[in-house]
Amino acid sequence: MSEFRRIPPQQAQALRTQGAVVVDIRDPQSYALSHIAGAYHLDNHSLADFMAQADFEQPLIVACYHGNSSQGAAAYLAEQGFAEVYSLDGGFELWRATFPDEVAQGEADQP
């Protein structure tokens, strides 16, 4: 699959329980304030390390603020060879409203 699909938080949560990886592309300060539990902070500095360690067959969910920027990042990651890439509709803001117990705080989690 060289394309990505947009999915709502409920579908993203179901994929997470099946082992999907979540990456958060927001700025480091926003990520540190709160992010989807277990999400990796992905930016230009961490991309190479993330890709070197990634399982390209594992589903990958990309989250941003509101679900707009994640679409470009998801398309890029799909082009890099990830088999199953999703963009989180509504982004972190809708996720936080939908699953408040699935939000963590602190520095970046890394793979």
Active centre residues (catalytic): 64
- The CA dihedral of 48, 45, 18, 106, to the nearest 10 degrees, is 150
Beta strands in 1-111, from DSSP E residues, in sequence order: 4-7, 21-24, 35-36, 40-41, 60-63, 85-88, 103-104
